[in-house]
Structures are given as structure tokens and as C-alpha cells.
Chains A and B, each alone.
Chain A
Amino acid sequence: MFRERSLSAAGRVLATATAFFLVGAFLQAGEAAARSAALEKVIEGAKKEGVLKILWTEDHFGADTGIAAIISAMNKRYGTNVKMQFTQGSSFPANLGRLIQEYKSGQKSSTDIFLGSAGHMLAGLKTGMLMKVDWNALVERPAPKNADFERVNPEGVGMAVASRVVGIVYNTNLVKGADVPTSIEDVLKPKWKGQIATTPYVTGFYQLAAPNLLGEKFMTDYITRLKPQIGGFITCNSLDKVASGEFAMLIFDCGRDAALRYQKSGAPIGHTVPKEAIRDNVIDLGVPANAEHPNAGKLFVVFQHTEEGQELLWKYGAYDLEIYPGSHSKKLIDDFRAKYPNAKFDFETVQEAQAQDKEGVKIDVYQKKFLKILRGK
């Protein structure tokens, strides 16, 4: 009797497992069928390449830890066995300069994927350094309707993968209560003289100088007043120098994500967005034209647009793409817009950078001008 019952139970378990397996296999087959032939070709190419070389900027995507987890999920999804070869690179602009140099001298690229913001991707387009790809033919998730911006960059030089709100980072032990800046004017208080850091590429300032935001005249005046406050220059992610108290604040950062990642380690780091302007700095991924493993690079970009990819981006990078429904970034931006209804607002995308370029808005000239004022160079 017992034996019969046991067999029966075992049979039920087996039947259930078989059913799950069949349903799973069916769903997977359906998902695979949903993939375009172009994507299948990229997957096959990535399988053959087997490696993804990454020369990375700061700790975006959670650096090596986060990227390893993302690649692992990507391998599981596409049945690939791509291995990560991570090397710490420099800032966006410094990496860009290096990659352009490699491209122009006919060398293989140091990386299979390039991470950058709008201006960097535009430079990649102009110099031919970035590969032109029909991303819409590869990405599994359809483009959302009525999105705030186009996710594929002009001429297919990469895709937007995340967006982050730019602001001021501060040390919560040194900057408390009413001292927490709500305006860019707040950092000009005499008590902060020599205690403010900015980036060596003066990010934030030259973008705000665009005519649709605060304008060149306003920003030139502001930077001239800011200069005595500046005690040093650190990259967007060198928040260890803010956490240690070496600097009380960093104006501007490249996005709120870095502060969130630091906070996870328990560091006394806070982030605030000034009321004058809300800048949503969109970051993009592209594949260098001279990449050694272009298919692995493309697949990595494509994976970021899956729901799973976006969740992992939020988990490790503290950002996701605002245009997708239910994204964390969308909610954050809506909150800020509600808080500062009079603030100027801007999505910084490659399309916008290209339009400014065509209209003769010389963002790079602003940058050089502000560098001259702040760094004397």
C-alpha cells in the first residue's frame, strides 16, 4: 500500500516537473522566436567571440562586480558564455580621447563597449569611432510610445541605457540642515571658501550655459564668482574625497547614481538638486568601430534594454532608463519637477547635442571658456 502511494506521489511530482519543463521550454522557444534574425546572428557571433573587453569609467553599473552580474544574466538569457575582461579606464572624455586615437591610428580598440554622455557619443559619431548599428532590429523590447526622447542615437551610434539627475554632492557630516544647498547660489557662502570641488572637465556648467537653460552670460558670471570657492578638482566618481571630508561638496556631479552607490557603503554622502535647473543626463553605450569583440559588445547593449537588464542596472548602477514605464528614474524626475515647477528642465541626449551643434550652440567653446576661468588652462 505504502509502495503504491509512494509511486503515485512520485508520479505526480514527475508529471508536474514535466509540465513545468514543457511550459518553460515553450515559453523559451516563444521568446527565442521573438528574437529577430539579426539578434540571433549577434548571439552566434558573441558565442564565437567568448570575451567582452571593457575599459570602464569609474564604477558605473557597479563596476566589475555589477558588470560581472549583468554579463552572467546576459549569458543565461542568450545561452552565451561571454567572459568579462575588465580594466579600469579613466573618465568619459579621457577614455573617448584614447579610443579616437586608437581608431585613427588603425589599432584595435581597448574596449568592446564605450560608455559616455551625449557630447561624447556625438564626438564618436563625428570621428567615425563608433560603429553604426541598426539597434531597433536587435532590441527585443519595443520602443515605448510617446517617450521623452529617442532611445537610439543618431545614425545608430549607440543607445541610451540610463538617465540620471545631475546635482550637488555633499558630506552629510559637514553640510547639515539649512546648509544643504537648494540653489547653486548656496555654495557661494563664504564659509565654503576652498571647500568646494568641481570636476576637471567642469561638467554641468557648460551644459547649463545652453540658451534653453541658464545661458552663457549667467553661467560665466556664476563661474567667476564660484572660482574662489573651489578647493580642488575631482572626477565625478571620486566621492571618496567628499566622504573623507577633504571637500565639503562637489558641484556638479555627473548624476545622482554615484552618490547612491557610495551611500550603500555607509559613507556620509548626500545629494541635492538645485532649483534653477533639472538636468537629466542620459548615458549611452556604443560599440567602437574597431572593437575586437563587436558582437559581444552589441549583445551587452541589447541586454540593457530587457526588463531584467534594467532591473540589474538599477540594482548595481542606481539608475535606469526614464522612458520605460515604471522606471525608477521616471518617478524621480516627476518628483523633482513637482518640487521645482519653475525650474528649467532638460533631457541631455545625443539628439539634443546634435541639434545644438547644427544651430551653432558651441557647448565645447563654453567648456573651454569655463576651464580657463576655473583651472587657468
Chain B
Amino acid sequence: MNAPTVREKTLASGRLPAWGRVFPAGGFFSRRLAASPLLALALLPMVVLLAIVVIFVWVSLQTGLVGTAEAKYSLANYGALFGNPFVLKVLENTLIFAVVMTFVALVVGLPVAWITERTTIRPKELIYAMMTTGLLVPPVFIAMGWTFIANRRIGLINKALMDLFGLQSGPVDLGSAAGMGFVEGLTLAPLAFVLCVQVFRTMNPALEEAAMTSGMSFRRTLWRVTLPLARPAILGALIYIFVIGLATFDIPAVIGLSSNVFVFSTYVFIEAFPSDGVPKYGIPAALGTAMILVALALTLWYVQMLRRSQRYQVITGKGYRARQIDPGKWVIACWVYIVVYFVIGLLLPILLVAFMAFMPYAIPPSIDALHLLTLANFQKMNWEYVFRGLGNTVTLMVIVPSVVLVLAFCISWLVVRSRRQGRYLLEFGAFLPHAIPRVVIAVGSLLLALYVIRNYLPIYGTIWILVGVYVVVWLPFATRSLNSSMIQIHRELEEAAATSGLSLIRTVRRVMVPLLRPTLLSVWIWSSLLVYREMTVAVFLVSQDNVTLPAIVWGRWTMGAANTAAAITVLMMVAFLPLLLLSWRFARRSRLSAEL
């Protein structure tokens, strides 16, 4: 018979304080826990998300301007999904875009992850820095740069091919669904890298070693052992990225709108900000509802894959190192692969944006154009506007990660410390915002603020609507990171604190926070940087008083002031570089990348 734990002994003595009994072995949804403020906080973002989804479904059942007498209940919007060729084309484009994007992201991210974790290549820190920088650069900047790289008429690549082969028009079409998917894939390759790094780091090497000992070649071992072992995790990463692709806005907006190529997110955008008449949310809402169901199904599959992939992991302790392969002369090829990606996926687009920032008007990059270099875009900048955007962006970068951390802490504690099945429901609820397309969350919250809560909570056009939506959007990221870290802290530490008479707040402050500090800091910084680069939600919800820097860049870009947009972009990158450097430091320390 096992010796009683501290908790069992204390429970028997009846000295455990009230909060210490919050997690009885049998009673996740016990009355005591239901009354817990932790649960109330944990459920809050889920209630908000549910309200947003309900609004979206409600709108999908109406025609006419919602919230007014003109609105009529009807199923016509769902009928239009199948009968409207434009909507069918949007669906086709979305599918092509998401498939190409996922493929490109994995083709880049997966090999680099393998090279980093399973070979002796050095310095690994440099590869991490090169890859994670990409994750933190706003995709809108990359899209702007790529219009100068691969535009059919003025792109560097097409111009070179046209000159070389005497072609009339450029063969590379960036303005297609596949072209946009390619660029988006490049921007999401760092995410694929981060998701796959964990797989290769924790994968059990015993089978690989056995295969090699049995005389299997490296290539056969890779195909017959390594990849099959990693398959569930890779499939999980694939689904995770594909779900993002179903609702990505930035790149399809910058590249696709002028090419008349629409995906789901840009279709919702043109209906919310139409060129003819008042906003029409009905059909986009019906499409969004269908997308939610698809994304939910994919997310359930993803969670299943994630669990399956954990079977093949080994628990790593101090001194553990999976066997690494010496790439020999192939190390050069490995570096070429990484550097080529870094240059075309990140450096070149950023350089082209910087070039634009110092040009008086939009001009394709060339040596001849250098004589036009000017500071005019910075000199004529409306600094009040930029500083207003900066102020809002910084405010969001401080408030959102802080609130996210508090809520994620509550959720993680309940999920990790409870033993009841109900915790999976809470865990799934916390992950739901990833499944719901961000554009749906943005429009849903806009309608919620405009028509439902306007008299009780007047947040339309304020920064608080952005705070609310951003918190919901980044909750899955923070919760997953905290879950992984919290699971490593033995519950007896908390029980000991409770036995010693520490209050809940003091236990959190004196026991949990010090132990979780690296993860908390890292999650805070990363959430902050994700807020800094966010554009999708901002574009839909932006107004006079809550305008953010990415929304200003977007506004200038779409209104024909590409050079001013580029100038603001350059300022943004310079201003937030220190935060990026800080994120590298903490990401490595807390191994956050392994917990995404």
C-alpha cells in the first residue's frame, strides 16, 4: 500500500484551508469549484467567444441590414452558398490557398526543424533566431515586399525571366490563390518549424538506432522509421497550419484584392466594407458558420493527433540527448537551404519595403532608382496619427498579454490540477479560439458591440473591444504553454503551502509564480509581439480612438500611399527590435518554442 500523500494526511487532519479543497479528487464541477472565482475567470473568455459565434449564426439567418427593421429572417444566405458562383469560387480559392500555404510552410519548416534537432549542425541558436524572427514580422510587410519580387508585370523575378527568355508577360503569377498561398506559406514556415522542432527533439531515438545498427542506410531509416514515427505530430502541425490558412487575411488582402482573387477572409472584408451600399453580412456569416464547423472538425482531429504523437515522445531529463547525426559535407547544403529561405522569405521582402520607404513614389527597385532616395516620406509624416497608433499598439501590447496570462493561469491550473474528465472540456474551450476563423471573431464582435451590448457596454470604436478580442484570440497559445510548464510542477508543493496556512494568493505569488517565471515572461513577451503584428482584427474593428500601427499601415497601403506605409513599417521594425531580441532570450530559456 502506498504511503499517504501530504494532501491525504492534511485532509484527514481537517487542516486544509478552503481553497486547498478546491480540487477534491472527485468533483471537478462540484458546487465548491463552480463557485470558485478561478472557474468564473476561466469561463469568461469562452462565454465571450460563444456570444460571438451565436451572433454570427444569428446574422447568417437574416437578410437586410442586421439590427434594423429592414432585417428579415431567412435561409437565403445558406442557399446562396451553393447557388452563387462567386461564393463557390471563393471557396475554391480558399482551399487552394490553404493547401499551397500548408505545403510550402511544411516543405520549409519541417527539414529545418529536423536539421536543427537531429544533426550536429552549429550554432543552433542562430537557426532559432533566423526562424523565429520570421514568426514575429507582420505578414503584411512580407506581402508588400513580395509585390515587388513576383508581381506579374513589375516583379524582379518576372522581369528577369522576361528579359532572359524574351517573354511578353511574366510567368510567375503572385496574384493567384496559389501565388498568395506560396507567400503565406513562407511567412508560416517558422510556425511549422516551431511545431516540428518539438517532435524531433522528444522523439524516441531507440528505433532509429536499432535500424541503423541493423545496417539500414540513413535514407531508409529516415523514410521507414523517422518519418513514420513523426507522422502523427507532423499531421498535427499540418492541420494546425491548415486551419490558420482557412481564415488568413493579411496576404490575401494585400495581394489578392487588386487581382480580384478572393478567399474567405477577403470576401468577408469586401462585404463588410462594400463598394455598393451598406455592409452585407448575411452570406459571409453563412459561409463563416460553415467554416467554423470545418475548422472545429479539423481541430478535433488535431487534438487527437497531438495525443497520439505524445505516445512516441520520451521524457527528457537532465543530460538527455537524442542521438544526433553528423551531416558531414552536407552541412553546406543544410546552411544553403536555411539561408535561402531566410533571404527570400524574410530579408528580401523587408529590404524592398525599406527601399520603398525612401522613394518619392512607387517605383520598381533598381540601381537607377537609387538617385531618387529621399526622406520626404518621414518628413511629411502625420506624427499625431502615428503616435496615436503607437500609443494604442503599446497599450494593447501591455494590457492584452497581462490579461491573457491571468486567464490562462486560471484555466491551466484547473486543467492540470483536476482529475475529472470535465477538464478536457475546459481545455478544448480554451483552444476553441484557434478553431474559429479570426475574421469571424472580428466581425462577430463588431456586430455584438454595434447591436447587442451597445447600451450596456459601449465599447464600439474603443480600445476595449480590441482588448477583449485579442485576449480571446491569444488564449490558446498562452494556455497551451502554461499547461506544459505547470504539469512539471508537482502538486505537493501547493499542498504543502496550503498545509502551512498560505492563502491562495500567497501560494500563487510565493510558489507558482517563481517556478513558472521563465514561461510566464516568455508567454507575456510573445503574446505582446503577436499583438504588435496583428492586423486582421484591427482592420475590421479600427476606428478613430483605437487605431493601431498595423491598421495605419494597411490604411495607407490600400489608399495609394504605399511609400508612407513602407516608411511607417520601417519605423515599426526599428522600434520593436529590442522586444524581438528579448523574446529570443526568453524563448530559448523557457523552451517556449516546444510548447506552442
A interface residue numbers (CB < 8 A to B): 53, 55, 57-59, 63-65, 68, 84-91, 93-94, 97-98, 100-102, 104-108, 110-111, 123, 194-195, 197, 199-201, 231-235, 237-241, 243-247, 258, 262, 265-267, 364, 367-368, 371, 375-377
Contact = CB atoms under 8 A, between A and B. Distances in A.
B448 to A, nearest CB: 11
B28 to A, nearest CB: 41
Given A232-B258, A245-B154, A376-B86, 18 more contacts: A58-B560, A65-B380, A85-B388, A87-B547, A88-B385, A97-B279, A100-B65, A104-B68, A105-B451, A200-B257, A201-B276, A233-B258, A234-B258, A234-B560, A243-B361, A246-B151, A246-B153, A267-B361
A235 B85 CA distance: 24
B591 to A, nearest CB: 41
Q: Which of B273, B364, B556, B563 has the most CB of A within 10 A?
A: B273
A160 B208 CA distance: 78
Contacts of A376: 85-86, 89, 260
A200 B65 CA distance: 22
Nearest to A197: B258
B175 interface: yes
Given A101-B450, A194-B169, A238 B153 contact: no
A53 B555 CA distance: 16
B543 A101 contact: no
B279 A233 contact: no
Q: Which 10 residue pairs spanning A and B have beta carbons closest together?
A: A88-B555, A201-B275, A240-B362, A267-B361, A64-B382, A244-B362, A237-B560, A238-B560, A94-B273, A105-B450
A265 B360 contact: yes
Given A87-B547, A246-B154, A235 B260 contact: no
A207 to B, nearest CB: 13
Given A93-B275, A375-B260, A376-B85, A86 B385 contact: yes
Contacts of A195: 153
Contacts of A85: 384, 388, 544
Contact of A107 (B169, B460, B542, B560): B460
Interface string B181-222: 000000000000000000000000000000000000000000
A370 B65 CA distance: 23
A201 B543 CA distance: 23
Contacts of A237: 559-560
Contacts of B317: none
B559 A107 contact: no
13 contacts: A87-B385, A87-B555, A98-B279, A101-B65, A101-B278, A104-B68, A105-B460, A233-B260, A241-B258, A244-B363, A245-B154, A266-B360, A267-B360
A58 B451 contact: no
Query: Which size bracket describes the interface of B in this complex?
Result: 35 or more
B544 A55 contact: yes
A232 B563 CA distance: 20
A102 B449 CA distance: 11
A372 to B, nearest CB: 9
B382 A244 contact: no
B372 to A, nearest CB: 8
Contacts of A63: 382, 561
A245 B364 contact: yes
Nearest to B364: A244
Given A86-B385, A238-B559, A241-B258, A265 B544 contact: no
Nearest to B68: A104
Contacts of B560: 58-59, 234-235, 237-241, 258
Given A87-B543, A235-B559, A244-B364, A100 B258 contact: no
B388 to A, nearest CB: 8
A201 B151 CA distance: 23
A174 to B, nearest CB: 9
Given A194-B169, A240-B362, A104 B544 contact: no
Contacts of A364: 276-277
Interface of B: 65, 67-68, 85-86, 89, 147, 151-154, 169, 175, 257-260, 270, 273-279, 360-364, 372, 376, 380, 382, 384-385, 388, 450-451, 454, 460-461, 542-544, 547, 552, 555-556, 558-563
B85 A58 contact: no
A368 B561 CA distance: 28
B276 A371 contact: yes
Contacts of A93: 274-277
B362 A241 contact: yes
A363 B126 CA distance: 61
A68 B360 CA distance: 21
B274 A97 contact: yes
Contact of B362 (A86, A108, A243): A243
A238 B67 CA distance: 34
Contacts of B461: 107-108, 110
B67 A104 contact: yes
A368 B89 contact: no
B385 A64 contact: yes
A240 B380 contact: no
B148 to A, nearest CB: 8
A323 to B, nearest CB: 28
Nearest to B377: A265
Contacts of A55: 543-544
A351 to B, nearest CB: 21
A298 to B, nearest CB: 19
Contacts of B275: 91, 93-94, 199-201, 371
Contacts of B258: 197, 232-234, 238, 241, 246
Contact of B279 (A53, A101, A197, A377): A101
A253 to B, nearest CB: 11
B276 A240 contact: no
A106 B364 contact: no
Contact of A94 (B169, B274, B382, B460): B274
B450 to A, nearest CB: 4
A377 B284 CA distance: 13
B259 A53 contact: no
A172 to B, nearest CB: 12
Contacts of B361: 240, 243, 262, 265-267
A97 B273 CA distance: 7
